[in-house]
C-alpha cells in the first residue's frame, strides 16, 4: 500500500523545510509513541522520508492502522502495539517523541483513567527509559489545554493557566500539566534534554481517521456532517474561538523544536495565530463543501474555553518557524482528502 497523493505532496513540503536537519535524522533511531495517531503518523512518515529508523508504539485506542500500514514490512520501521505506561524497550534509541494520548475531547471524556495513565504513568515510564539510555532529545507533546480558559489572549508560554481541577476536561488538561511537570523535573534533577511543545488545534488529512462524528474533533466533525448533508452541530452560540494550524506547519514546528540546538528545557507554543469563531468555521466549511446542511446549536459543554489563540513569538524567534498555510487552503486540502477516502 502507498501513501495517497495529497499526503505525499504535503510530506514533500515538510521535507523541503527540514533539509537542514537531514544529517541528524538519517540513520538515527526514533521512538515515536502514539505513532499510529494523527500527528504521530505524519512524524513517522517524515522520519521515513529521511531514512531514519523508527520504533512506533501505539495501543490503537484512538489511532488507526490505516495511518501507518504503508510502513509495515520496511526494515527501518517496527511497531509495538502496547500501552506506554507499561512498556519495556531494550533498544538504545537516539530520540524519544512522546505523543501517546487520546486528544479528542469526547473520546478522552469517555476514557478518563486511560487518559490520565497515558499522561502521568506513560510519561514517567518514557522519561525513565530516556534517562536510562541517555537520549539526545525527549520531545513531549503538550497542549494549549494546559492554559484552560485563558484570560490572556494571545496566550504566551508564561501564562500560568485557568484550569478546573475537577471539570470534564481535567483528565486531559491536568494530565498534561502533570506530564509537563514530570518532564521539567527530570530536566532539573537529572539534566534530561526534554523539550515541550504546547500544541494548539491542528487539523489536516488523517485527523481522527477512524473516529466518527461523535468522537471526531471539530474540523473533521463539521466536514463529515457537511458532506453527509447533516446539520453542523455548533456548541453554544458559536462565538467561542479557536486558531487552527495545518498539519504541515505543525509537523515542521515539532521537528524544529526537537532538532534546533540549545533548546533543552524549553517550552514553546506551536500553532497558528489566525483566530476564528466556531460559527465562522462552520459557515466556511459549508461554503467549501457546497453543502446544503443547516447549522444546529447545542448546549455549550462545561469549561469549554472561550478563546484560544497562541502567542508564537518564541517559536518565531527560537525556531525560525511560522505557520504558512491559511485556514481556507488547509481546509481545502483536508476536505479533498476526506472525500478521496470515502
Ligand X SMILES: NC(=O)c1ccc[n+]([C@@H]2O[C@H](COP(=O)([O-])OP(=O)(O)OC[C@H]3O[C@@H](n4cnc5c(N)ncnc54)[C@H](O)[C@@H]3O)[C@@H](O)[C@H]2O)c1
Cβ atoms 93, 133 nearer than 8 A: yes
Has 147 been annotated as catalytic?
Answer: no
Q: How far apart are alpha carbons 63 and 287 in whole angstroms?
A: 29
Inter-CA distances, 118 with 42, 206, 232, 320, Å: 20, 21, 31, 31
In whole angstroms, how close is the CB of 35 to ligand X at the nearest point? 7
Question: How far is 96 from 30, CA to CA, in rounded Å?
Answer: 6
Catalytic residue among 95, 147, 172, 203: 172
Segment 52-71, which members bind ligand X (CB under 6 A)? 57-63
Shortest spacing between CB 111 and ligand X, in angstroms = 8
User: Pick from 102, 130, 194, 263: which binds ligand X (CB under 6 A)?
Assistant: 102
Q: Of 8-16, 70-78, 93-101, 315-323, which segment contacts ligand X by CB under 6 A?
A: 93-101
Show the binding pattern over residues 131-170: x = contacts ligand X (CB under 6 A), - = does not: ----------x-x---------------------------
Stretch that binds ligand X, among 37-45, 182-190, 254-262, 325-333 (CB under 6 A): 37-45
Is 270 a binding residue for ligand X by CB under 6 A? The answer is no
Single out the segment in contact with ligand X by CB under 6 A; choices: 101-109, 123-131, 157-165, 315-323: 101-109
Q: Is 116 in the site for ligand X (CB under 6 A)?
A: no
Which residue has cell 530536566?
187
Q: Is 34 in the site for ligand X (CB under 6 A)?
A: yes
One residue of 122, 154, 253, 305 binding ligand X per CB under 6 A: 122
Q: Which of residues 201-260 bind ligand X (CB under 6 A)?
A: 201-202
**Burial environment of residue 294 by CB neighbours within 10 A (0 to 12, 13 to 18, 19 or more):** exposed
Residue with cell 525560525: 320
Q: How many residues bind ligand X (CB under 6 A)?
A: 29
Query: For residues 261 and 263, what is the distance between their CA atoms, to the nearest angstrom?
Result: 6
Binding region for ligand X (CB under 6 A) out of 99-107, 187-195, 292-300, 324-332: 99-107
Q: How many residues does the chain have?
A: 342
Q: Which three cell numbers stand for residue 294?
A: 443547516
Any residues with CB less than 8 A from the CB of 219 and at least 6 apart, and which? Answer: 201, 203, 207, 244, 281, 285, 331, 334
Provide the phi-psi class of 182: left if phi over 0, else alpha when psi is between -120 and 50, else beta. alpha
State which of residues 14, 39, 79, 150 lies at the interface with ligand X (CB under 6 A): 39
Positions marked active-site: 172
Amino acid at each position: 500500500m502507498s501513501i495517497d497523493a495529497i499526503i505525499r505532496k504535503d510530506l514533500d513540503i515538510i521535507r523541503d523545510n527540514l533539509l537542514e536537519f537531514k544529517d541528524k535524522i538519517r540513520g538515527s533511531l526514533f521512538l515515536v509513541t502514539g505513532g499510529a495517531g494523527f500527528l504521530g503518523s505524519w512524524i513517522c512518515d517524515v522520519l521515513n522520508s529521511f531514512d531514519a529508523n523508527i520504533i512506533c508504539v501505539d495501543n490503537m485506542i484512538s489511532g488507526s492502522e490505516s495511518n501507518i500500514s504503508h510502513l509495515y514490512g520496511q526494515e527501518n520501521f517496527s511497531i509495538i502495539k502496547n500501552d506506554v505506561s507499561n512498556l519495556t524497550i531494550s533498544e538504545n534509541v537516539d530520540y524519544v517523541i512522546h505523543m501517546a494520548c487520546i486528544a479528542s475531547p469526547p473520546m478522552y471524556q469517555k476514557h478518563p483513567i486511560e487518559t490520565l495513565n497515558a499522561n502521568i504513568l506513560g510519561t514517567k515510564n518514557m522519561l525513565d527509559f530516556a534517562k536510562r539510555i541517555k537520549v539526545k532529545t525527549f520531545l513531549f507533546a503538550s497542549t494549549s489545554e494546559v492554559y484552560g480558559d485563558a484570560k490572556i489572549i494571545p496566550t504566551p508560554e508564561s501564562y500560568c493557566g485557568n484550569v478546573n481541577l475537577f471539570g470534564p476536561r481535567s483528565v486531559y488538561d491536568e494530565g498534561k500539566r502533570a506530564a509537563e511537570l514530570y518532564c521539567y523535573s527530570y530536566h532539573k534533577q537529572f539534566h534530561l534534554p526534554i523539550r515541550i511543545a504546547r500544541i494548539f488545534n491542528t487539523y489536516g488529512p488523517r485527523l481522527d481517521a477512524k473516529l466518527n462524528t461523535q468522537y471526531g474533533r471539530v474540523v473533521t466533525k463539521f466536514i463529515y456532517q457537511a458532506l453527509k448533508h447533516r446539520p453542523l452541530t455548533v456548541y453554544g452560540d458559536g462565538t467561542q474561538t479557536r486558531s487552527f494550524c495545518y498539519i504541515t506547519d505543525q509537523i515542521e514546528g515539532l521537528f524544529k523544536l526537537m532538532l534546533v540546538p540549545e533548546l533543552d528545557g524549553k517550552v514553546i507554543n506551536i500553532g497558528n495565530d489566525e483566530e476564528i469563531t466556531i460559527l465562522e468555521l462552520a459557515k466556511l466549511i459549508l461554503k467549501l463543501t457546497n453543502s446544503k446542511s443547516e447549522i444546529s446549536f447545542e448546549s455549550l459543554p462545561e469549561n469549554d474555553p472561550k478563546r484560544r489563540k497562541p502567542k508564537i513569538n518564541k517559536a518565531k524567534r527560537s525556531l525560525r518557524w511560522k505557520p504558512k498555510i491559511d485556514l481556507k487552503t488547509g481546509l481545502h486540502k483536508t476536505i479533498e482528502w476526506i472525500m478521496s477516502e470515502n
